[in-house]
Structure formats: C-alpha cells, structure tokens
Amino acid sequence: MLTRKQHELLIFIDKHLRETGFSPSFEEMKEALTLKSKSGIHRLITALEERGFLKRRAHRARALEVIRLPESMAPRRAAAAPAPAAPKEAPFAPNVIRGNFASNMQGVAKPANEAAAVHLPLYGRIAAGLPIEAMRDTGSSVEVPAALLGMGDHYALEVAGESMIEAGILDGDTVIIKRGDVAENGAIVVALVDDNEVTLKRLRRRGNSIALEAANPAFETRIFGPDRVRVQGRLIGLLRKY
C-alpha cells in the first residue's frame, strides 16, 4: 500500500510521461509535491522502485518508467490516452524517435497512413553548452519520418554538450529544427550569436535583452542585447540512436 506522497508522485510522473514523453526533473517533482528538498523525492522514488511501481533506466538522465499504477487507477490511465492533438505552438517537449536510422528502420511496422521518410540536410554539430562556431555541412543528411514534420522548411543538427539534459536533450542527439526567425518566449531555439556562433538554448525575452537559458543548473544563463542574437529556427523534435 502506498503512502499519500508516494501515490501523488507516481501519478505525477505517469501523467508527465504520457504528456511529454520524458521524465520530470527532480525540481519539477519537488514543486509538484510541495517538498522542501530533492532528497525527499529520492526517498519516494526508491520506495516506489522497491514496491514495483517504478523502474530507473540505467545510464540515462531523468529516465523513469512507470511499471504499474495502483489497481484503483488502472482504468483511469487507460481512458486517459486520447488521440494525438494537432501541433501547437508551445514550449518544446521532445518527440523522440528511437532506433537505428541508418538501416532505414527495417523491421519496424509503419502505419498505413504514414508518408515516406524525408531526408533533411544535416548541418554539423550545435553546442548545447557554450556556443560554437557554426559548421554547415550540406553534403550530409538524415532520414526523418514524414509524420514528425509539419508545414515549412526543416533541417537537422547534431547536439554536442549536456546543457539541455533537463529538457530531455542529450549529447549526440539529432535535433529537428523548423526554420524561421521568430519564436515564442520560452521556446527552445537555434540562436545565432554575433553572426558567427550558434547554440541551442531556451529563449527568454527580458525587457530589451535576450537570455539564452540552459536546462542544466551547471550552466549559466547568457544575456545579450537584442541586436546580438538572431533566431535561426525552433526545435520541433529529436532523433536518438542506440
């Protein structure tokens, strides 16, 4: 039998996984349960693991899997799986396509209504740490399921660094970018700094300044004047190989 806090945390993690596709951060869990420290979250997660409700995936940041819910919640969980909604302009939640894309997804069944895969240009590596000089390699491409893309022009970049791990973006991931020069406040964007450096960060507008915000407390937020930063595109999804 679960305690009230164990039950609240399990339901919060399950809801976050179904809505975003990745685990909540310890800070998000602490705030959701109104706890004063993250150590309480660690104890609750350990207790849920011991009772067979949660499982941690080894060697992965923020990788939790809900094994089962309390019996009284199981029917509600099954009923709470609506059909995917149309894309909205909202803060990024990674849409992770897993597998070996070099093999053209052989052996993976595709829905009958899914269009053929699209080859997007792969423009080198982008820093998810300190900005790096842009590396544009138009000779490379990456295969992406057409269902992942909407209208507009898109391209791909390989992530280097760990400053966005709490947004579910890991070193070595390939991010899918919708090309554009505008983005809503809070969106994860490709930003061009001083016309020669590119970085992947969350965009925050602060008065007349622009902040490029990391999703890792080990990295500082960098603030620039509006004439120093240009948006090159908005993050819509990512690919991950194993």
Say which of 178, 201, 209, 241 is annotated catalytic: 201
Taken as a whole, the chain contains a residue count of 242
CA distances from 157 to 65, 127, 173, 186 (A): 28, 10, 8, 20
Residues 230, 191 contacting (CB under 8 angstroms): yes
CA torsion 198-188-217-6 (nearest 10°) is -160
> Does residue 163 have an active-site annotation?
yes
> Does residue 88 have an active-site annotation?
no
Residues 193, 229 contacting (CB under 8 angstroms): yes
Say which of 25, 30, 163, 178 is annotated catalytic: 163
Enumerate the active-site residues: 163, 201
